[in-house]
Amino acid sequence: MVHPADIVARRRAFLTAAVACAASGLARAQGGGAPEFPKRPVRLVVPFAPGGATDLSARLLSVRLSEFWGQPVTVENRPGASGMIGAQEVLRAPADGYTIMVSITTHIQNPSLFQKLPYDALRDFAPVSQTALSYLGLVVRPEHPANTIGEFVAHVKANPGAYTFGSFGTASSSHIVGESFGRAIGAQVNHVAYKGSAPMLADLLGGQIPIGWADVSTAIPHINAGKLKVLAVSGPKRTPLLPKVPTLAESGYPGYEPLGWVGVFVHSATPRPLVDAIARDVIRATNHPETLARLAEQTLVPVASTPDAFAKTLREDAATWAKMIRAAGIQPQ
Position 110 in a domain: yes
> Is 57 a domain residue?
yes
Interatomic CA distance for residues 129 and 132, integer angstroms:
9
- Show which of 233, 267, 286 is a domain's final residue: 233
Task: Give domain status of residue 33, yes or no.
Answer: no
- Per DSSP, 82 falls in state G
pLDDT at 195: 81
In a domain, residue 107? The reply is yes
| Measured torsion, CA atoms of residues 74, 80, 83, 89, in degrees rounded to the nearest 10 | -50
> What is the pLDDT at residue 17?
40
Q: Are residues 269 and 128 in the same domain?
A: yes
Q: Looking at the chain, which runs of residues are DSSP E strands? A: 42-46, 73-77, 99-104, 125-134, 136-140, 163-167, 189-193, 211-215, 229-233, 260-267, 301-302
Same domain for 173 and 320, yes or no, is: no
The gap from C-alpha 257 to its chain's centroid, in whole angstroms, comes to 15
Number of neighbours of residue 309 by Cβ within 10 angstroms: 15
CA distance 20 to 30: 15
Are 164 and 212 in the same domain?
yes
Select from 167, 199, 233 the last residue of a domain.
233
Is 105 in the same domain as 171?
A: no
148 plus 180 within the same structural domain:
yes
What's 48's domain CATH number? 3.40.190.150
Domain shared by 229 and 266, yes or no: no
Nearest residue to 177 (alpha-carbon basis) of 226, 209, 211, 154? 211
Q: Are residues 114 and 165 in the same domain?
A: no
Pairing of strands 211-215, 136-140: antiparallel
Beta-strand pair 260-267/99-104? antiparallel
CA distances from 62 to 20, 85, 323 (A): 37, 21, 35
Residue 21 located in a structural domain: no
Cα distance between residue 250 and residue 237, in whole Å:
9
Report CA-CA distances (Å) from 185 to 2, 13, 174, 193, 272. 93, 77, 16, 21, 45
Residue 191 gets which letter from DSSP?
E
Per-residue pLDDT at 35: 61
- Specify whether 127 is located in the same domain as 263: yes
User: What confidence tens digit (pLDDT) does each residue in 299-322 have?
Assistant: 788 999 999 999 999 999 999 899
- The Cα–Cα gap between 135 and 323 comes to 19
| Tens digits of pLDDT across the chain (333 residues) | 334 344 334 434 433 443 334 333 333 333 444 568 999 999 999 998 887 788 889 999 999 999 999 999 999 999 888 899 999 999 999 999 999 999 999 999 999 999 889 999 999 999 999 999 989 999 999 999 999 999 999 999 998 888 899 998 888 888 999 999 998 898 888 999 988 788 899 999 999 999 999 988 888 889 999 999 999 999 889 988 899 999 999 999 998 888 889 999 999 999 999 999 999 999 999 999 999 999 988 778 899 999 999 999 999 999 989 988 988 888 877
Q: What are the residues facing 132 on neighbouring strands?
A: 262, 302
Residues 263 and 282 in one domain: yes
Answer yes or no: is 268 within a domain: yes
* Domain closes at, from 181, 199, 233: 233
- C-alpha dist (Å) from residue 150 to 120, 143, 253: 40, 17, 10
Q: Are residues 143 and 98 in the same domain?
A: no
Residue 129, beta-bridge partner list: 264
Q: Is the peptide bond before 38 cis (omega within 30 degrees of 0)?
A: yes
According to DSSP, the β-strands at 99-104 and 136-140 are: unpaired
Domain holding 164: CATH number? 3.40.190.10
Angle at 260 between CA 258 and CA 263, to 5 degrees: 110
Q: Is residue 281 part of a domain?
A: yes
How large is the greatest C-alpha to C-alpha distance in the chain, in angstroms? Answer: 106
Q: What is the model's pLDDT at position 23?
A: 36
Instruction: Please indicate, yes or no, whether residues 86 and 143 belong to a single structural domain of this protein.
Output: no
* 3-class DSSP state of 133: strand
Full residue range of the structural domain in which residue 141 is found: 136-233
User: For the stretch 242-266, what's the b/e string if a residue is b when 16 or more beta carbons lie within 10 angstroms of its beta carbon?
Assistant: beebbbbbebebebbebbbbbbbbb
* Whether 149 and 60 share a structural domain: no
The reply to whether 307 falls in a domain is: yes
What is the amino acid identity at position 215? D
What's the number of domains the chain is made of?
2
